[in-house]
Structures are given as structure tokens and as C-alpha cells.
């Protein structure tokens, strides 16, 4: 006899993509074998378990040694299982609902709600009886709001429940603001925007508010539907600041950050060292002293400070590949948030400090970085590419940083518009520029080159290839304690892995990649089939794009082949999609609600002045970083266009 809780042994279907599902396939098969439609279960817990077993059978999840006749027998039971389940739940009414649903284990509450709704129990039972029964068995409000039929049946009653506790505002946040809410939230029709505003405000002021949810309210878009207005956002911001201050008053935290400096004795152009969690970047004075001409100054941003990679894709944006596991799955992210993690924060901090350091260093040499940018637009592109009429006006040396920021953002928009008009018309007409007043849309800035970027298509095949090769969650990343790596690609590149080294459950995936021509089996080892293809796939994963015209002829042929297979698509723009999103995050609210909106605030005169000149200086450095990044992209476009023109 066992004293183990029977609920622990209950079969639960987690979905075909969850490995936990496979652990119970044997138990599910046993129940399917014993099932007798003439002698069905009589309690809700057994019926719900049968429902989960039915899903195993429908998905074809059987033990590996199951014969085809056993599988066929189990599949033949599906209609009878469905009938037993339906008859049980259609018999539920006001008189027996409490007895029928009581004692259903918490793990199966979602199934309980689903089956009650599917079999119209909510229409048959009065709200006081059904809701009382569900409360008695411990079904929480979140699960109830996840079922559309239940919410429609008990509209006003659930509205009253929502308004009864300020903590229920978290359901409103999940509905409208939380990006990674795994389940849909349905709110009663009678729950108005006025109700939402009242509930959210009460939550912001409550002692038990969750800091993450307060942050989502702060960065949410203003909307009459959600009840979020500017006053509520400000209230949430102040509450978040208060909660953060209180937290760090008693918690010292971990020292992390970045230090940048110029070394008098260092020979290498740059050295990077880690002091615990603090990155230290030092630059050779000999190097920077010898690179004071205008082209070298801009090249130092691209190559010394590494604002762009070898294919001139910016390193500054937040790329999903740089998000850790916890950041991807456990971070509370808003639906309209720009998703950032530790890697982005580190690069953002270091690039800001690099710009600050270089601005200060150049000023000590009587060089104005804005004047270098003006040289690029007014002299360099004219002399190098024959492109005339561009203009960029540096800030006045006597201006405050507030004035400089406003001027720099206006000039950045001007050169972006100048570039767009030049691409569209083959020349820059100053009169046309003067009458063009539409705001700059960074995603729509054109390129001189057709099909400049290749992007992965939203499809299962290419997504699977990228996941298996490069994700830290790849099944191929771990073979044994002595043979593992951060990703499947790293494992194959750094080790001689033969086909026999892979476990039985790995081999279908390896076979799949071999059949696609991504991997090859030489007999001695499994390896990448093509270096060019591998580098392209790595770029698609790490930067979400490939710069087509930086590829060799063989690389371009690989992209053309991927286009034919439906793996990638090519499109034209100055900035890649992630790069334009980076600009939008910092400058405006076109895409994201959690950005600093620097362009909007400064050009509209709504920036805060509480921090004084220091805050404006920081924004000025940020603006310099953005316009330098834009110069890098424009220069690359001019160079590639000239090279492609010369080659035709």
C-alpha cells in the first residue's frame, strides 16, 4: 500500500513541446488501455484525468515500444472518451455543481474551467452557485478571467469581484500592458474604463503593489480604453521611484558598471578587462593622438569603440539573442516595451561613456565633434561620392546644453530628411527640403541599394534551424557532462563530434539539419556544411539581419538560395529593422512606450529641468552617439552604392 497522494500521479498533458509531457506517456497509455466506456469514472478528478489522457492519444504520444496495433486500439477509444467526458459535464446543474467540482486538484483547475464552459455549464448554473463552487475548490480569479464563456455568463458578478480588491488591478495590467502574459485575459463588458482607472489608481497607491506592475503602468500608452492617462503615469512613476529608493535603502545591491580611460603607456589601441562585474576599457593615447584627422575620428567610433560590426550592422540595439534565459522568460515586460537586458545595458553604458570620453578628449585638442560631423556632410560626401548640397550646422559654442540638445536633434532630423530626398530623387533639392515637414520615420529611411538586408521569414523551418544551432536552449547543446557547450553550433565547431556521439533522441534533429544541407556527416564528425551559410545563419540569429552587399559572391548566392527556399526575405532601408527600433526607442513613441522619448521631449519643450545642466549634458552625449551611428550607416550606404555601381 502506498501513502503517496493520488493527485501527484494524475496524468497531465502539458503540450507536445513540453518535455514534461513525455514523462507521463506510459501512464497515459495504461489508463487508455484500461478505459471502459460502459463503466466510466464518476468523479470530476477522474474525468479530467481522462480528458488529459485523451489529449495524449490524440497527439500520438505513446511509449516507444508501443506496437501499431496498440496505438490503433487507443486511438479507437477517442470517441468513447469524448462521450464520457461530455455526458459527465452536461449533467452538471445548480443542484449538483458544488459536489461535482469540489476537490479538483489545483493543477487541473484550467481543465475544469475549460470543460465546464465547453459543455455549457455556465449557461445552466446561476452565478451564485457556480462561483461559490469554484471558490470552494480554490479556482482563482485569474483562471476565471481566462475563460471567455465564464466571463460572458457572469458579467456583472465578475465586475463586482474585480472592483472588490485593488490587487485585482493586476488582471487589468496583464490584459492591456503585460507582454508575456501566457494566457488571454477577458474582462467583463460591464467593466468600464472608469472602473479600470479607479482600480489602477488604487493599486498604484496601495501598500502591496508589485514594483514590476507599477513600472508597466508608468510606461503604458495613454488610452481611454485602459483608463491610463498622463496623471496616472506620473503617479506610477513617482510611486516606482519611491519603492526603488526604499528597496535600495536596505539593500546595497551588486556593484556593476563600466569604466573608460585613456592610458599614457598602453601600446594596444584598446584593452578590455573585468574587475568583478565592472568592465574597464582603456585606450592608447598614442593611438588617439595619431588619429585626429576627421576620417579617423569617425572611424574610431566604428572600429575602436565598435559601434558597428564588420558588416556595419550596429552593435548598439537590443537584440533578442543577447537576452538571457531569465530575461526572456521571467522579466515583467510591457506589450509595447523595448525589451532590454544586461548585455544591452552594459553596451549602452559603455558606448555612452566612450562618446563622453572622446568628446572631452577632442575638446582638449580644440576639435568639436559636431564640426567633424558637419565636415562629413558638407565636404567628405561631396569630394568622395559627388553628393552635393547636404548641410549640417554645429551648435553654437556659447549655447547651453539644453540649447545644444534641441539644435542637435533638429539637425539630425534634417540630415535624415536630406538623405531620404537624395535617395528618392537622385539629388538633393533644397527648395523641396524647405517644404517637407513630415516627421522622420526611421524605419522608412530609404537606401541607395535594393534589397540591402535579408531577414529571417516568420516560419517554422528557419526558426527551428536558428534555434537548434544558436539558442542556449538548444537540445544539441548538451550531450554529456564532458561534451557540452552554450549552443549546438558552439558544440560542433569546438569539438569533433561524431554522429554516434549523439543520443538517440538527438539524432532526428541532426538528421533534419543534414537533410536541409545545414550540417554534413563526414563519417569522422558532424560539422557545418558551408562556412558562408553558417556565418549568414549566425548573423540572422545574433543581429536579426544580414547585410547583403557585404557578402562575398558565394555568400550572396547562399542568400539567394535561402530566398528561394522561403527562409529569408530581402528589403531595402538605410537602417535594419532592429537598428531603426533602437532609434525609435530613444527618440519617440512610434513603436515603444518605455523609451526616454528624447526627441519628442526636447523639441516639444516638455523635458524635465529638475536635474539641471547635468541632465541636459547626458542627453547631449546620447544625441551625439545617435547621430554618429547615423553617419556610420549613411557612409556605409554611400560606399556600398559606389562599389556596386563600379562593378556593373
- What span, in angstroms and rounded, lies between the C-alpha atoms of 94 and 363? 81
- What span, in angstroms and rounded, lies between the C-alpha atoms of 317 and 578? 6
- What span, in angstroms and rounded, lies between the C-alpha atoms of 112 and 553? 59
3-state secondary structure of 414: helix
Residue 8 pLDDT > 60? no
- For residues 61 and 29, membership in a common domain is answered with yes
Looking from the CA of 98 toward its CB, the CA atoms found within 13 Å total: 11
3-state secondary structure of 487: coil
Among residues 225, 253, 281, the one where a domain terminates is 253
647 pLDDT band, cuts 50/70/90, is very low
pLDDT in tens, 568-614: 999 999 999 999 999 999 999 999 989 999 998 887 776 666 567 88
Residue 137 pLDDT > 50? yes
Q: Look at residue 268 and tell me if it is in a domain.
A: no
Instruction: Give the CA distances from residue 524 to residues 258, 477, 495, in Å, rounded to whole numbers and listed in that order.
Output: 45, 19, 12
Residue 269 pLDDT > 80? yes
Q: What is the mean pLDDT of residues 307-329?
A: 90
- For residues 187 and 249, membership in a common domain is answered with yes
- For residues 622 and 642, membership in a common domain is answered with yes
Among residues 139, 173, 207, the one where a domain terminates is 139
- For residues 314 and 214, membership in a common domain is answered with no
The DSSP symbol for 125 reads: S
Q: Look at residue 157 and tell me if it is in a domain.
A: no
Among residues 571, 597, 622, the one where a domain terminates is 571
pLDDT in tens, 499-541: 999 988 888 889 999 999 999 999 999 999 999 999 999 999 9
- For residues 15 and 123, membership in a common domain is answered with yes
- What span, in angstroms and rounded, lies between the C-alpha atoms of 53 and 48? 9
How many structural domains are present in the chain? Answer: 4
- For residues 444 and 308, membership in a common domain is answered with yes
Q: What is the mean pLDDT of residues 68-79?
A: 92
Q: What is the per-residue burial (b if ≥16 Cβ within 10 Å, else e) of 452-462?
A: bbbbbbeeeeb
- For residues 552 and 584, membership in a common domain is answered with no
Q: Look at residue 536 and tell me if it is in a domain.
A: yes
Q: Look at residue 144 and tell me if it is in a domain.
A: no
- For residues 636 and 544, membership in a common domain is answered with no
Q: Look at residue 218 and tell me if it is in a domain.
A: yes
- For residues 437 and 304, membership in a common domain is answered with yes
Q: Look at residue 153 and tell me if it is in a domain.
A: no
Pick the residue with more confidence: 554 or 253?
A: 554
Write down the mean pLDDT value for the chain: 90
- For residues 186 and 301, membership in a common domain is answered with no
Residue-level pLDDT at 2: 35
Phi then psi for 629, rounded to 5 degrees?
Answer: -60, -40
Q: How far is CA 137 from the centre of its chain?
A: 37
- For residues 317 and 416, membership in a common domain is answered with yes
Q: Is 430 exposed, middle or buried (0-12, 13-18, 19+ CB in 10 A)?
A: exposed
> What percent of the chain has a predicted confidence (pLDDT) above 90?
73
Residue 566 pLDDT > 80? yes
3-state secondary structure of 497: coil
- For residues 339 and 421, membership in a common domain is answered with yes
Q: Look at residue 472 and tell me if it is in a domain.
A: yes
Residue 439: CB partners within 8 Å, gap ≥ 6?
413, 588
The domain in which residue 404 lies consists of 291-448+579-647
Looking from the CA of 644 toward its CB, the CA atoms found within 13 Å total: 17
Q: Look at residue 558 and tell me if it is in a domain.
A: yes
Residue-level pLDDT at 325: 73
Amino acid at each position: 500500500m502506498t501513502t503517496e497522494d493520488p493527485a501527484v500521479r494524475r496524468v497531465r498533458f502539458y503540450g507536445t513541446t513540453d518535455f514534461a509531457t513525455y514523462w507521463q506517456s506510459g501512464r497515459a497509455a495504461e489508463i487508455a488501455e484500461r478505459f471502459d466506456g460502459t463503466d466510466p469514472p464518476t468523479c470530476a478528478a477522474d474525468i479530467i484525468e481522462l480528458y488529459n489522457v485523451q489529449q495524449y492519444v490524440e497527439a500520438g504520444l505513446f511509449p516507444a515500444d508501443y506496437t501499431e496495433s496498440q496505438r490503433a486500439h487507443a486511438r479507437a477509444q477517442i470517441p468513447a472518451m469524448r462521450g464520457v467526458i461530455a455526458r459527465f459535464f452536461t449533467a452538471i446543474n445548480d443542484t449538483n455543481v458544488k459536489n461535482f467540482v469540489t476537490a479538483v486538484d489545483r493543477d487541473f483547475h484550467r481543465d475544469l474551467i475549460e470543460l465546464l464552459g465547453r459543455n455549457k455549464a455556465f449557461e445552466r448554473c446561476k452565478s451564485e452557485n457556480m462561483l461559490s463552487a469554484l471558490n470552494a475548490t480554490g479556482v482563482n480569479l485569474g483562471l476565471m478571467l481566462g475563460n471567455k464563456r465564464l466571463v460572458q455568463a457572469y458579467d456583472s458578478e465578475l465586475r463586482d469581484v474585480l472592483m472588490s480588491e485593488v490587487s485585482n488591478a493586476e488582471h487589468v495590467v496583464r490584459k492591456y500592458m503585460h507582454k508575456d502574459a501566457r494566457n488571454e485575459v477577458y474582462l467583463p463588458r460591464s467593466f468600464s474604463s472608469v472602473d479600470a482607472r479607479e482600480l489602477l489608481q488604487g493599486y498604484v497607491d496601495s501598500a502591496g503593489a508589485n514594483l514590476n506592475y507599477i513600472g508597466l503602468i508608468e510606461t503604458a500608452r495613454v488610452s481611454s480604453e485602459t483608463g491610463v492617462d498622463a496623471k496616472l503615469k506620473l503617479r506610477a512613476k513617482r510611486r516606482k521611484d519611491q519603492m526603488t529608493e526604499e528597496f535600495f535603502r536596505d539593500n546595497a545591491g551588486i556593484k556593476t558598471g563600466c569604466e573608460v580611460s585613456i592610458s599614457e603607456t598602453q601600446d594596444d589601441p584598446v584593452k578590455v578587462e573585468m574587475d568583478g562585474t565592472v568592465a574597464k576599457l582603456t585606450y592608447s593615447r598614442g593611438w588617439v593622438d595619431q588619429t585626429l584627422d576627421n576620417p579617423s575620428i569617425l572611424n574610431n567610433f566604428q572600429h575602436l569603440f565598435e559601434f558597428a560590426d564588420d558588416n556595419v550592422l550596429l552593435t548598439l540595439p537590443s537584440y533578442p539573442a543577447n537576452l538571457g534565459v531569465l530575461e526572456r522568460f521571467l522579466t515583467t515586460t510591457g506589450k509595447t516595451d523595448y525589451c532590454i537586458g544586461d548585455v544591452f545595458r552594459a553596451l549602452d553604458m559603455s558606448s555612452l561613456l566612450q562618446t563622453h570620453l572622446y568628446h572631452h578628449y577632442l575638446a582638449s585638442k580644440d576639435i568639436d565633434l559636431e564640426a567633424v560631423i558637419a565636415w562629413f556632410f558638407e565636404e567628405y560626401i561631396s569630394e568622395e561620392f559627388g553628393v552635393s548640397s547636404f548641410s549640417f550646422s554645429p551648435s553654437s559654442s556659447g549655447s547651453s546644453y539644453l540649447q545644444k540638445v534641441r539644435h542637435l536633434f533638429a539637425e539630425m532630423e534634417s540630415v535624415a530628411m536630406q538623405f531620404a530626398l537624395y535617395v528618392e530623387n537622385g539629388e538633393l533639392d533644397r527648395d523641396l527640403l524647405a517644404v517637407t515637414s513630415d516627421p522622420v520615420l526611421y524605419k522608412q529611411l530609404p537606401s541607395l541599394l535594393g534589397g540591402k538586408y535579408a531577414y529571417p521569414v516568420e516560419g517554422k523551418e528557419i526558426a527551428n534551424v536558428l534555434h537548434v544551432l544558436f539558442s542556449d536552449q538548444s537540445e544539441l547543446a548538451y550531450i554529456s557532462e564532458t561534451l557540452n557547450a552554450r549552443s549546438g553550433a558552439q558544440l560542433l565547431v569546438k569539438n569533433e563530434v561524431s554522429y554516434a556521439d549523439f543520443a538517440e533522441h538527438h539524432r532526428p534533429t541532426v538528421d533534419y539539419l543534414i537533410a536541409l544541407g545545414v550540417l554534413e556527416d563526414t563519417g569522422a564528425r558532424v560539422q557545418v556544411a558551408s562556412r558562408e551559410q553558417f556565418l549568414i545563419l549566425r548573423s540572422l540569429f545574433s543581429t536579426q539581419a544580414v547585410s547583403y552587399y557585404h557578402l562575398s559572391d558565394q555568400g550572396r548566392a547562399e542568400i539567394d538560395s535561402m530566398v528561394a527556399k522561403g527562409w529569408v526575405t530581402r528589403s531595402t532601408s538605410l537602417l535594419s529593422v532592429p537598428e531603426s527600433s533602437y532609434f525609435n526607442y530613444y527618440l519617440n513613441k512610434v513603436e515603444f512606450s518605455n523609451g526616454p522619448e528624447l526627441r519628442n521631449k526636447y523639441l516639444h519643450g516638455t523635458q524635465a529641468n529638475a536635474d539641471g545642466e547635468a541632465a541636459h549634458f547626458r542627453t547631449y552625449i546620447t544625441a551625439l552617439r545617435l547621430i554618429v551611428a547615423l553617419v556610420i550607416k549613411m557612409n556605409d550606404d554611400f560606399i556600398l552604392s559606389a562599389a556596386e555601381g563600379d562593378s556593373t
